[in-house]
Amino acid sequence: MRRILLCLALLIICIYAGATVLIYGDTRNHPEVHRELIARVQELRVNAVFHTGDLNQKGKSQSEYDSFKEIISPLPAPFYAIRGNHEKDLALFIKNFPSVDGLSFYSVIYDSLKFIILDSNLPLLPGSAQYRWLVNELESSKLPLILMLHHPVFSSGYHGDELGLQYYLPQLFKKYPVAAVISGHEHSFEHLIWEGLDFFVSGGGGAPLREQGSPDPRSVFFNMIHHYNLLIRQPQALLWQCFDLKGDLLYETTISLP
Q: Give φ, ψ of 41 to 5 degrees.
A: -100, -10
pLDDT at position 29, please?
85
Q: What angle do CA 98, 99, 105 make, to 5 degrees?
A: 115
Dist. CA 193–CA 221, nearest whole Å? 10
Pair type for strands 145-148 and 178-183? parallel
Q: How many CB atoms lie within 10 A of CB 220?
A: 13
Q: What percent of the chain has pLDDT over 90?
A: 85
Mean pLDDT of 232-245: 96
pLDDT at position 160, please?
81
Q: What tens digit of pLDDT does each residue of 82-122 get?
A: 999 999 999 999 999 999 899 999 999 988 999 999 999 99
Question: Helices 62-72 and 31-41, interaxial angle, to 10°?
Answer: 30
pLDDT at position 159, please?
86
Q: Is pLDDT above 80 for 3?
A: no
Dist. CA 200–CA 184, nearest whole Å? 8
Q: What percent of the chain has pLDDT over 70?
A: 93
Q: Which residues contact 88 (CB under 8 A, 6 or more apart)?
A: 58, 59, 60
The pLDDT mean for the chain works out to: 92
Q: Give φ, ψ of 145 to 5 degrees.
A: -115, 140
Q: Give me the CATH topology for the region 2-256.
A: Purple Acid Phosphatase; chain A, domain 2 (3.60.21)
Q: What tens digit of pLDDT does each residue of 204-223 get?
A: 999 999 999 889 999 999 99
Q: How many CB atoms lie within 10 A of CB 129?
A: 12
3-state secondary structure of 5: helix
Q: Which residues contact 86 (CB under 8 A, 6 or more apart)?
A: 28, 53, 54, 55, 56, 57, 58, 59
What is the residue extent of each domain of the chain? 2-256
Q: Which residues pair with 251 in a beta bridge?
A: 242
Confidence band for 1, pLDDT divided at 50, 70 and 90: low
Within the chain, strands assigned E span: 20-24, 48-51, 79-81, 106-110, 113-117, 145-148, 178-183, 189-194, 197-202, 219-223, 227-233, 237-244, 249-256
Query: Running DSSP on this structure, what letter comes out for residue 188?
Result: S
Q: Which residues contact 121 (CB under 8 A, 6 or more apart)?
A: 83, 84, 85, 87, 90, 104, 150
Q: Is pLDDT above 50 for 240?
A: yes
pLDDT at position 169, please?
98
H runs (alpha helix) in 73-195: 90-96, 129-139, 169-173
Q: What tens digit of pLDDT does each residue of 173-185 get?
A: 999 999 999 999 9
pLDDT at position 232, please?
97
Confidence band for 15, pLDDT divided at 50, 70 and 90: very low
